[in-house]
Amino acid sequence: MATIHLHQATSLTPEQYIAGLTDFGPGRSALFGNSADEYLKVHQLGHAQADVTEGSGGVWERLQYDWSEPNNVVLTTTDSNIWGGASGHNYTFIRHSDGTTDIDVVVTREGKNLKGHLLGFVLETIGRSVLEKAFVNSIKAIEARNGIVTQPSAA
């Protein structure tokens, strides 16, 4: 089983990131590159929960989204062509008094077949950077959608 921890600071509020994370409309792939529009199917959408199938590149999973707690969003994999067991994502948001937010994500990948076990191994070893890049890109896209311009750090 692969467990990948990711962290990023942002000028987004938790509510702004969660609004992007739970926007299952057309164009979702502009925010989340691993969620191609042709895979996206919303089975059920409630006030703080959703049942959604998404994926890309031949890999799909059905996820139960739960954002009922304001500083935590849990995505539980309920079905997939390669993931099973304890697979999912857990987002934790920490607000700071300066208006910034730390976002911590734990991605858990438990393969349910050979392809899943191999991809899980790759993600845990050399593929972590791919997940990290996708995470950073989602934050940048949601910042842009909210009119937040990230300034480069001064050297």
Indicate the domain borders of the chain: 2-145
pLDDT at 150 over 70: no
DSSP character string of 89-133: EEEEEEE-TTS-EEEEEEEEEEESSHHHHHHHHHHHTT-HHHHHH
Under the banding of pLDDT at 50, 70 and 90, the label for residue 126 is confident
- Per-residue model confidence as pLDDT tens digits over 37-50: 999 999 999 999 99
Under the banding of pLDDT at 50, 70 and 90, the label for residue 151 is low
CA distance 108 to 88: 5
pLDDT at 107 over 80: yes
- Per-residue model confidence as pLDDT tens digits over 81-98: 999 999 999 999 999 999
Topology classification of domain 2-145? Alpha-D-Glucose-1,6-Bisphosphate; Chain A, domain 4 (3.30.530)
Q: Is the pTM of this model over 0.85?
A: yes
What rounded mean pLDDT belongs to the chain? 94
CA distance 141 to 105: 17
- The DSSP call for residue 51 is E
